Each structure stands twice: as C-alpha cells, then as structure tokens.
Amino acid sequence: MRSLARRVRALPIRARLSLLVAAAVALAVAAAAVACWFVVKSVLVSSLDEALKANRMSKQQVSQYVNLRTGECAHDPVTHEQNPFGSSVQLVDGTGGSCLIIGMEKVPLTDTDRAVAEGSTKDALHDATGPDGTQYRVYTYSGLPELGVAVSAARPLDEVNSSLSNLALVLVFVAGAGVLGAGAAGLWVARTALRPVDELTRAVEHVARTEDLTVRIPVEDDSDDEIARLSRSFNSMTSSLASSRDLQQQLIADAGHELRTPLTSLRTNVELLTRSEETGRPIPEADRKALLASVKAQMTELASLIGDLQELSRPDTGQHTGRTRILAWHDVVESALRRARLRGPELTITADVRPWYVRAEPAALERAVVNILDNAVKFSPESGTVDVRLADGVLTVRDHGPGIPADELPHVFDRFWRSPSARALPGSGLGLSIVARTVQQAGGTVSLTPGEGGGTTATVRLPGAPVPPPETGAADDGGQW
C-alpha cells in the first residue's frame, strides 16, 4: 500500500488529478449502480409478490383438489403458463404435512408456512430453493381454515434473476464507460486548469536559468482564484527582487564612487610620505603635519562612510526586532545636542525638549538625531542659531543656513545624493538616508521643508506617549504600545 502511494505521488500532477477524478467517479458510479440494482430487484420482487397475491385460490377452487371425506389431494401437473396461481401449489396442514396439487416440484416448506396453516399467521412471503436448485418466491395463505389447511403457491425467480443479470451487465458497461469518460475529462480539466501553472513553471525556470527578473505572467484583472493570486505574488516577487537588485547595484556603484575619492587622496598622501622616507629628502615640518592631518581626515571619512554603508546594508525588518525597546526620546535628543554643541561651539543652539517615549532601536535613533543636528550645524552660518524643539512626539530642527532649493527637496533622502552646493563639504550623502530608514522602521515620518525667512526645517514624527509604559527598558517582545 505504501509502495502504491509512493508511486502515485511520483506521478505528474495531471496524472494524479486524472486518477483522482476517475476514482471519484468510479466510486460514485459503483454506488449508484449497486443502489439501482437493489431498487430494481425490490421492484421486481414486489411485482412478483403482487401477482401471487392477486391470483389467490378461493375455497371452492381449493375444494376441487381435496376429497373432504378421505382428505386425499388430487394432483394436476400443469405448467407455469397454464397455472395462474403459481408454478407449484401445495396444501399445508398444521402438522407440517403437505401435498402437491399443481405443478411438478414440491418446494420445501418452512415454519412460517405451517404457522399460516395453524391460523397463527394470516399469510407469509419468503424465498425458497427447490430440490433441483431452482429459486422460488413462495406465498402462503389460508385456504380451508375449517380444516387447518393453507395454500402455498411458489413461482420461480428466474424471470427476476434474468432481468437482474441483464441489468448488472448494462450497469457494468455504463460504469466502465463512465470511468473512462471521467478519466479523459479529468485529464482535459487538469490540462486546462494547470495551464497557468505551466506558465508559472516556465517563468520560474527561465528566471533560474537566465536571472532575468523582468518576466511577468499575464493575469486577468477580474480573476481572483488561487492561480491568479499565485501569479500576482510571483510578479510582485520578481518586481521586488528586480528593484532590490537595482538598488544593490546602484549602492555598489555609488559606494565605489564615494570610496574612490578618499582612497585616492589617502594613497597620494601616503606615497608622498613614503617617497620622502625612501629618498632621504624630508618634507618640511608644516607640510608633513598637513599631510598627516589629511591622512587622518581621510581615514575618519572612510570609517564614517563604511559605518554608513554597514547601517544601510542591514535588512529592513521593521520596528519589531530584538533590538528595539521603549526609549526616552527626550534623553536621546539631549545627548545629541551635547555632541552638536561640541561640533559647533560658535553657534547658538536653543532647545525646548519635552518628555516623549517611543519604541525604537537605541543606537539607530541616536544616530538619526545626530545626523539631523550635524546637517544643521554644517549648513549654519558662523554665529548662527539652530532651534531644536521636541513636543508631542514631533522633533523640529531649524537652521538659518542657505536652505535647500525646491527642486532638490525630493532627492534629499536618496542614497549618496548631495546638493551641488554641498559637494565641497565633508560627507558621504548617506546621513539623511539613514535618518529616513530609521524613522520609517520606528513607524514615523520625516520631512525637510524650507524655513520661513531662509534656512531649512527638519521635522520627525514618531508614535509614542509622554509617559513610559510599565515595561520601559524591556526588550521588544512584539507587543503593541
């Protein structure tokens, strides 16, 4: 049985569907055929019973075959066609004795027949088998109740059995034809129904063979069955993979371009220092210090760029990860403000920070706030002012620098994008991309808008509450807050 099941599972899905349909139809046809056979048998036997009952012998007719004085029976060997009462008619008494009055063969009697003769039962119907093996339908009824004599009429079941045999042959033929037709129909249905699956299979094989993610499976707009949903899911998956691959290739290309500049400058400075050591011609001390300072700056820029790339290369799994927790956002902003004041000591940074608790990753959120403040410090004029405010889950950072042109605002959160006016300044163009990613993972929004009277206003909105929940500081377990 297990071997058969394994062989069936090894068949193509079309063959399995065809076999399943054929088996289901075979069971249904077999059940219907058996039910039909028994119904017809019941109808034929009932008709035979009605015929036996309709041709009962009267007392006068029974008396013609009995010598009332001696009790002897007269025998009339008529054929079934000549005898309307049955092919075999016997008289039965209560002691079990019987005499054949019509026909050629005595049919064995039963206790029910004797019970009719005794008067305890009105009549009886049953099957019996004659001495030569012929099957009979027997009907016993009271004939001469004053003498305790019953009449037992028996007709052979050959006519019923013959009809049932013919019916069985017809049912077997019809069932076989039905099963074959069902198998063919099942194969046709399987081919028709699985045609979209074939297209999907060919598309997947094509993608696996060629890595061509532009393949799309046509789907009717009004179709919503399982195959249509699977096709739409495949199209969505390939679109996402294609977009992800394009973004990855773009990230690699942009990263290579951004790394080339500091690496080239670093290599040039190192070669100058090495050549000075090899030739024995010392570089003036001021120039040497400048070269070392440049090398240090380039190393710092490389480290920052690599850190930004590592941050962007992390999978975007959303806010519910093992590293998220309930944070006091106002504390994060205060920490970032202290760092910003060190980087821009000549600036005036005003702060209005009110309590607000959010669910986010601590290091990522702090880095995002630091990046926003660094941008404000970088683009503020000397002795300028930076206004910082956190209230009701909204952080605004306003600088009074040159601002961002309106046509550049849609690109400020793109990776490696830098304004033409800011390309001479240090930076990789990844800071705001990291801000957008972190805020999105925390369930918030971020935007840059021109400030009134010049400058730029960065706005960050994060969901949370002004008071911490009971599990403040606990690792995120995926619950809602």
Q: Could you read off the pLDDT of 134-179 as tens digits, one per residue?
A: 888 999 988 777 777 888 888 888 888 888 889 889 988 888 888 8
Under the banding of pLDDT at 50, 70 and 90, the label for residue 186 is confident
**Sheet containing 456-461: order of strands:** 348-353, 385-391, 394-398, 456-461, 445-450
**Co-location of 240 and 129 in the same domain:** no
Is a pLDDT exceeding 50 seen at residue 335?
A: yes
322 has pLDDT over 90: no
Torsion of CA 413, 416, 420, 424, to 10 degrees: 120
Place of tokens 């942009």: 254
334 and 432 share a domain? yes
Determine, yes or no, domain membership for 298. Answer: yes
Token pair 């009971």: residue: 470
Q: Which of 12, 18, 14 is nearest to 185 (CA)?
A: 18
The residue among 70 and 390 whose pLDDT is bigger is 390
Indicate the residue among 313, 336, 357 that finishes a domain. 313
Flag the least confident range among 206-220, 313-327, 402-416: 313-327
- Same-domain status, 300 and 332: no
In a domain, 191, yes or no: no
What residues contact residue 402 under an 8 Å CB cut-off, 6+ apart?
379, 421, 454, 455
Residue 375 resides in a domain:
yes
At residue 329, what is the residue type?
W
With respect to residue 31, please indicate whether it lies within any of the assigned structural domains. Answer: no
For 80, the token pair is 């079934």
Domain endpoint, select from 280, 313, 346:
313
Q: What is the CATH number of the domain that holds 424?
A: 3.30.565.10
Q: Do 241 and 358 belong together in one domain?
A: no
Residue 299 and residue 241 share a domain: yes
| Rounded Cα–Cα distance for residues 140 and 146 (Å) | 16
**Which residue among 135, 161, 187 closes a domain?**
161
In a domain, 109, yes or no: yes
Rounded CA separation 475/471 (Å): 9
CB 123 within 8 A of CB 140: yes
**Same domain, residue pair 296 and 350:** no
DSSP state of 476: P
Residue 220 covered by a domain? no
pLDDT at 480 over 50: no
Nearest alpha carbon to residue 200 among 228, 160, 180: 228
Judge contact between 335 and 457, C-beta under 8 A. Answer: no
Let me know whether 156 and 258 are in one domain.
no
Q: What pTM was estimated for this model as a whole?
A: 0.45
Distance CA 112, CA 131 (A): 19
Domain contains 154: yes
Tell me, what amino acid is at 132? Answer: D
475 has a pLDDT exceeding 50: no
Judge if 451 and 353 occupy the same domain: yes
Domain of 302, in residue numbers: 226-313
The closest of 90, 79, 76 to 141, measured between CA atoms, is 90
Side by side, which strands form the sheet with 149-156? Answer: 98-102, 88-93, 149-156, 135-144, 123-129
Q: What tens digit of pLDDT does each residue of 288-306 get? A: 788 788 777 777 767 766 7
Query: In terms of domains, do 292 and 331 share one?
Result: no
Contact 329, 353 (CB under 8 A): no
Asked if 350 and 456 sit in the same domain, the reply is yes
User: Is 12 within the bounds of a domain?
Assistant: no
In this structure, are 456 and 350 located in the same domain?
A: yes
- Quick one: 346 and 461 in the same domain? yes
Q: What is the CATH number of the domain that holds 274?
A: 1.10.287
pLDDT digits (tens, 9 = 90+) for 65-89: 776 555 567 766 655 555 666 778 8
The structural domain count of the chain equals: 3
How far, in Å, CA of 241 to CA of 425, rounded? 35
Radius of gyration of the chain (CA): 51
Roughly how many angstroms between the first and final C-alpha of the chain, as a whole number?
55
Whether the Cβ atoms of residue 403 and residue 456 lie closer than 8 Å to each other: yes
